[in-house]
Amino acid sequence: MACGLITGLCERLDLDCRVKELVTYVYALLDDEGARSLATTRVMLQQSITPSNLPAYKKGMAEAAGIVEMLIFHNNRQGI
- State yes or no: pLDDT of 5 exceeds 90: yes
Closest CA to 71 of 17, 12, 26, 28: 12
- State yes or no: pLDDT of 2 exceeds 80: yes
- Indicate the domain borders of the chain: 2-77
Which H helix or E strand runs over 77? helix 54-77
Tens-place pLDDT, residues 32-68: 888 999 999 999 999 899 999 999 999 999 999 999 9
- State yes or no: pLDDT of 80 exceeds 80: no
Which H helix or E strand runs over 34? none
What is the pLDDT confidence band of residue 75, given thresholds at 50, 70 and 90? confident
Give CB contacts under 8 A, 24+ apart, made by 28-31. Answer: 31/2
- State yes or no: pLDDT of 8 exceeds 80: yes
